[in-house]
Amino acid sequence: MGEGEALIGDVGVLKRWKSRAPGGSIRDPSPGRDQRLTDSTASLEVPRAESWGILSGESESAREMIVRNLTLDFREEVCVPIKFPKPSEPSRWLTDDEISAYERDGVICARGLLEDSLIDSLRQALEYVITDQNLLARNLDAGKGFHGDIFVWKLNDDFRDLALFSGLPQVANQILRAKQVNFFYEQFFVKRAGCSVETPWHQDISFWPVEGEAIVSFWITLDSVTRESSGLEFVRGSQNWEQRYKAVTPSYDAYMMDTDLPTAPDFSTLRDDYDVVGWDMEPGDVLIFGPMVCHGSDGNHSNDRDRRALAFRYAGDDVRFAPRHATMPLLWEHGLAAGDSLGGSLFPRVLPSVIEEEIARRWEGPEPPSPRALQAFLEYLKETGFGPGGEKLSLFDRALSGDG
Ligand SMILES: O=C(O)CCC(=O)C(=O)O
């Protein structure tokens, strides 16, 4: 059983359900039961990791589907509580050796951390997102075979479910050892075969409107990757450096670079002087790294292999909101003030558990960026000289204002 929709009651409310648990299913109705769906709301027996939300609309076939597939227990009540999937167990835990290596080097390659089935569904989701759901990817592509976007979990359910309900939060907490873990955000970096776009060397912390060190990123590749096909490389131990570098994006966005920080050296040319490390990876292997470690990647010099990567990031206890010029724009309302711990609907808690108020809206359906937040950011770009006609060009302006 995959997913379906059901019209419940006379109120024209369409309930949508999705079966996700491996082998999970919604039980068959008891034979002979009165299965009319007209005047009361059905309470559904939903096994572990099954979940459903609400859409508006009508569907006759959905009505049949619910009759065929669900155990219905008619009651007078009109509201059915939203149920969230329980987070799944990681398919494997990090070993003590991996955790020690992470602490020493600032990065590890965790082999076989994710299952093949998850990688397959992410491939499908990513290709769909690139063509249909992204904010930035089409506009920033510039014909070079590079696609990237951020906060896709707000629009795409596969991304959302991996972020909030998979085993990743628990693995993150093996590193963070936090009282509470929040999902920070996710991002994708696609370099199609032959894409020459490099990811300049950088430290992630320079890009973010937060302070704190307890952030961990999972870099997930959906393709076999080598240095030649744009494998990510790191300077081992650089997480301990005091030096901070400019936030240089693959598109050299002028807004993000508008700080006094120096540009990071191209460490790929300094291999004799620095401990530069990278790994040949297979789908399922995951790079795990912190916010201070220097990293970058070359273009994809393979002629026949795409390099599709996703980065999911989690935050622990010491991370505070710290809005600054030249950091990634937040295009959703978040209600945070400088100095606040992360939380709320943009950076929801995932451990010890999700909080209903933080994710209920997103659970109902995709949450496009807030027009107010978008407008505010575009105005800010303009005020600071990066808007249309401004002397400094930011690709964010072009992409977000739809002039891509
Ligand atoms: O995939 C890339 O080239 C860049 C990834 C990256 O810098 C990151 O995830 O922090």
pLDDT, one tens digit per residue, over 342-395 is 999 999 999 999 999 999 999 999 999 999 999 999 899 888 988 766 667 676
Q: From the CB of 221, is ligand 1 less than 6 Å away?
A: no
User: Would 386 be classed as within a structural domain?
Assistant: no
User: Are 17 and 107 members of one domain?
Assistant: no
User: Are 122 and 57 members of one domain?
Assistant: no
User: Are 170 and 249 members of one domain?
Assistant: yes
CA distance 200 to 250: 6
User: Would 90 be classed as within a structural domain?
Assistant: no
Q: From the CB of 157, is ligand 1 less than 6 Å away?
A: no
Distance 163 CA to ligand 1 centre (A): 17
Coil, strand or helix at 397: helix
pLDDT in tens, 258-314: 999 999 999 999 999 999 999 999 999 999 999 999 999 999 999 999 999 999 999
User: Are 63 and 123 members of one domain?
Assistant: no
- Reading the block at residue 186, the tokens are 């996710």
Distance 242 CA to ligand 1 centre (A): 21
The domain of 20 spans 5-81
* Residue 202: alpha-carbon gap to chain centroid: 20
Q: From the CB of 255, is ligand 1 less than 6 Å away?
A: no
User: Are 103 and 72 members of one domain?
Assistant: no
CATH code for the domain of 204: 2.60.120.620
Q: Which protein residue has the closest C-alpha to ligand 1 atom 7? A: 296
Nearest CA among 290, 275, 296 for reference residue 176: 290
Name the pairing type of β-strands 233-235 and 276-278.
Answer: antiparallel
pLDDT of residue 117: 96
> pLDDT tens, position by position, for the chain (404 residues)?
344 434 333 223 334 444 333 333 333 233 333 332 322 333 333 333 232 322 223 233 333 333 333 333 333 333 445 578 878 899 999 999 999 999 999 999 999 999 999 999 999 999 999 988 776 655 555 568 999 999 999 999 999 999 999 999 999 999 999 999 999 999 999 999 999 999 999 999 999 999 999 999 999 999 999 999 999 999 999 999 999 999 999 988 899 999 999 999 999 999 999 999 999 999 999 999 999 999 999 999 999 999 999 999 999 999 999 999 999 999 999 999 999 999 999 999 999 999 999 999 999 999 999 999 999 998 998 889 887 666 676 766 666 665 54
CA distance 205 to 215: 9
